[in-house]
C-alpha cells in the first residue's frame, strides 16, 4: 500500500471511531464495571465469566474496566441523571464500590438494597463485612507486615503496635509505608495508627458518627503517632506512592519491613518477586485493618435481576473457593461456609477477626489530614 493510501485509510478508520455511536444496553447482557487492579479483572474474565455464563444460558457478561474510582463515580453520576429522565444507564453493577459515592446516590435510590433483594446466599456473608445495606461484600483482604527474614528473625518480629514502634525507632530507615490514598497497605497502616490513638476500638468509628470536630480530635492524635515515627522511616520520612512500590523496596533489600496486602504479598511470593521465606506477621493486640470489596447494583439497570443473580452466584461455595485459591483473597462469606480443608490450608494468613474502618467522609478526612500533618515532616508544635 502506498503511503498516501495508508494515511487516507488510517484517517478514515480513526475518523469513524469518533462518530457518535448510539448504544443501548442489551437484554441478557450484564454491563459490569470495575475499578480494581488487573488481577481482579483477570479473575472475572477467566474464572467468573465462563462459570456464570455456562450456568445461565443466554446471559453474557460485559466486563468493563472503568479505570479508577472516579471512573465509577462518573458512571454512577450518569446513572443518577438517567433516573431523572427515565433512560437507560447502560450499567448494571459495579464490582467494588462505596455506595456513598457520589454523594446523594443512596437517597436518590440508585443502589439496590441487597439485604432485601431476596438473595439466597445473603445470610452467609461475614457479619463483619457489612458496611451498608447497599453493597454486597464478596471478597476481602487484610494488611499484614512483611519482613526480610535475613535481617530480622521471626522470633524478634514485633507482635504488637508498641513493639513495632520500638522496632522502627531502633532500626531507622528500615520501614516504609505508602501514602494512605495511593494504596490500601499504607492506608490501613495509617488506620491502625488511628485505632491505636483511640483506644483500639474499631467500633468507635462508624459511617454515621463522622463530624468534623470528632475527626479533628481523633485523627489528630494519630497524626502525632505517625509524625513521631516519621524521622525513623526510610529516608527520614519518605512514603512510596503505592502498594507495589513498597513491595519493590522490600524486594530490593532497601527496607526490612513494610505493610502489604495479604493477597498481593502471596502473589509476589508465588511469582518470585519476593523470596519464599519472606516473613509475614500480624499484630496481635489489634490486627491491621482489612477491607471487603462489595458489589453495588444499579436499581435502574436494564438487567438488574440477572446482575443480582450474579451477585448471589459470587457468594456460592464454588466462587468463594476460587477467590481463596486464585487471587489469595479472603472469602466474603463467614468461615463456616468454607470447606474445612481450605480453612486448614490458609490458617496462617486467615485472621480470626478483620477490623474494618468506615469509608465515606472518613476517607477524605484521612487523606487530607495525613498529607497536611504527617507527610511534610513538620514538627507538630509549630
Residue number with CB closer to other proteins (68 or 162): 68
Q: Nine-digit cell at 303? A: 438487567
Residue with the three cell numbers 531507622: 172
Residue 39 or 47 having the CB closest to other proteins = 39
Please pick, from the candidates 245, 256, 258, 356, the single residue that binds other proteins as defined by CB under 8 A.
245
> Cβ closer to other proteins: 109 or 253?
253
> Does residue 13 sit in helix, strand or coil?
helix
Q: Which is nearer to other proteins, 121 or 256 (CB)?
A: 256
In order, the DSSP letters of 267-336 are HHHHHTSS-TT-EEE--SSSPPPEEEEEEEEBTT-TTHHHHHHHHHHHTSHHHHHHHHHHH-PEESB-GG
Q: Nearest approach, Cβ of 238 to other proteins (angstroms)?
A: 4
Least distance from C-beta 47 to other proteins, angstroms?
27
Q: Which of 30, 72 has the CB closer to other proteins? A: 72
Q: Out of 154, 220, 364, 380, name the contact with other proteins by CB under 8 A.
A: 364
Euclidean distance between CA atoms 240 and 113, whole angstroms = 38
Sketch the per residue contact string, 211 through 240, with other proteins: x for CB under 8 A, - otherwise.
-----------------------xx--xxx
Pick one of 56, 60, 69, 342: the residue that binds other proteins (CB under 8 A): 69
Contact letters for other proteins, residues 86-105 (x by CB under 8 A): ---------------x----
CA distance 187 to 178: 7
Q: C-alpha distances in angstroms, 5 versus 2, 8, 9, 10, 16?
A: 5, 5, 6, 8, 16
Q: Please give the grid coordinates belonging to residue 44.
A: 472475572
Q: Could you give the CA distance from residue 142 to residue 148 in angstroms, rounded to a whole number?
A: 19
Q: Where in 138-177 is the site for other proteins (CB under 8 A)?
A: none
Whether 315 and 108 have beta carbons less than 8 Å apart is answered as: no
Taking each helix axis from N to C terminus, what angle separates 212-229 and 361-373, rounded to the nearest 10 degrees?
40
Span near other proteins by CB under 8 A; candidates 38-46, 67-75, 263-271, 274-282: 67-75
Chain mean position to CA 243: 11
Within positions 181 to 200, which residues make up the interface with other proteins, using CB under 8 A? 181
Name the residue nearer to other proteins (CB basis): 74 or 166: 74
Nearest residue (CB) to other proteins, 182 versus 304: 182
Determine, following the binding rule CB under 8 A, whether residue 249 of this chain makes contact with other proteins.
yes
Report the alpha-carbon angle 188-193-197, nearest 5: 145
Binding site for other proteins (CB under 8 A): 68-70, 101, 179, 181, 234-235, 238-242, 245, 248-249, 252-254, 363-364, 367-368, 371-372, 375-377
Amino acid at each position: 500500500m502506498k503511503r498516501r493510501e495508508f494515511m487516507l485509510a488510517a484517517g478514515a478508520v480513526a475518523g469513524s471511531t469518533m462518530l457518535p455511536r448510539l448504544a443501548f444496553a442489551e437484554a441478557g447482557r450484564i454491563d459490569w464495571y470495575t475499578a480494581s487492579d488487573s488481577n481482579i479483572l483477570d479473575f472475572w474474565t477467566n474464572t467468573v465469566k465462563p462459570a456464570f455464563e455456562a450456568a445461565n444460558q443466554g446471559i453474557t457478561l460485559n466486563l468493563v474496566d472503568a479505570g479508577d474510582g472516579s471512573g465509577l463515580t462518573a458512571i454512577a453520576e450518569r446513572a443518577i441523571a438517567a433516573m431523572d429522565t427515565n433512560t437507560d444507564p447502560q450499567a448494571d453493577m459495579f464490582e467494588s464500590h462505596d455506595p456513598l459515592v457520589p454523594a446523594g446516590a443512596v437517597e436518590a435510590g440508585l443502589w439496590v438494597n441487597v439485604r432485601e433483594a431476596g438473595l439466597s446466599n445473603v445470610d452467609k456473608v461475614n457479619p463483619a463485612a457489612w458496611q451498608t445495606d447497599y453493597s454486597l461484600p464478596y471478597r476481602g483482604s487484610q494488611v499484614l507486615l512483611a519482613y526480610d527474614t535475613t535481617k530480622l528473625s521471626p522470633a524478634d518480629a514485633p507482635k504488637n503496635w508498641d513493639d513495632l514502634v520500638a522496632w522502627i525507632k531502633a532500626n531507622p530507615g528500615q520501614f516504609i509505608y505508602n501514602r494512605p490514598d495511593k494504596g490500601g497497605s499504607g492506608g490501613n497502616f495509617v488506620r491502625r495508627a488511628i485505632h491505636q490513638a483511640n483506644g483500639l476500638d474499631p467500633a468507635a468509628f462508624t459511617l454515621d458518627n463522622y463530624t468534623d470536630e470528632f475527626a479533628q480530635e481523633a485523627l489528630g492524635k494519630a497524626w502525632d503517632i505517625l509524625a513521631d515515627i516519621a524521622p525513623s522511616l526510610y529516608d527520614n520520612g519518605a512514603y512510596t506512592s503505592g502498594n507495589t512500590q513498597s513491595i519493590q523496596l522490600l524486594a530490593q533489600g532497601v527496607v526490612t519491613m513494610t505493610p502489604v496486602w495479604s493477597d498481593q504479598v502471596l502473589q509476589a511470593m508465588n511469582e518470585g518477586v519476593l523470596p519464599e521465606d519472606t516473613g509475614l506477621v500480624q499484630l496481635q493486640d489489634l490486627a491491621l485493618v482489612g477491607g471487603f470489596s462489595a458489589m453495588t447494583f444499579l436499581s435502574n439497570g436494564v438487567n438488574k435481576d440477572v446482575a443480582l443473580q450474579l451477585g448471589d452466584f459470587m457468594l456460592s461455595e464454588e466462587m468463594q473457593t476460587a477467590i481463596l485459591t486464585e487471587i489469595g483473597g479472603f472469602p466474603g462469606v463467614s468461615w463456616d461456609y468454607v470447606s474445612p480443608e481450605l480453612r486448614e490450608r490458609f490458617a496462617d494468613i486467615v485472621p480470626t477477626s478483620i477490623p474494618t474502618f468506615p469509608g465515606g467522609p472518613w476517607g477524605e478526612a484521612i487523606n487530607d489530614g495525613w498529607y497536611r500533618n504527617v507527610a511534610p515532616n513538620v514538627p507538630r508544635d509549630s
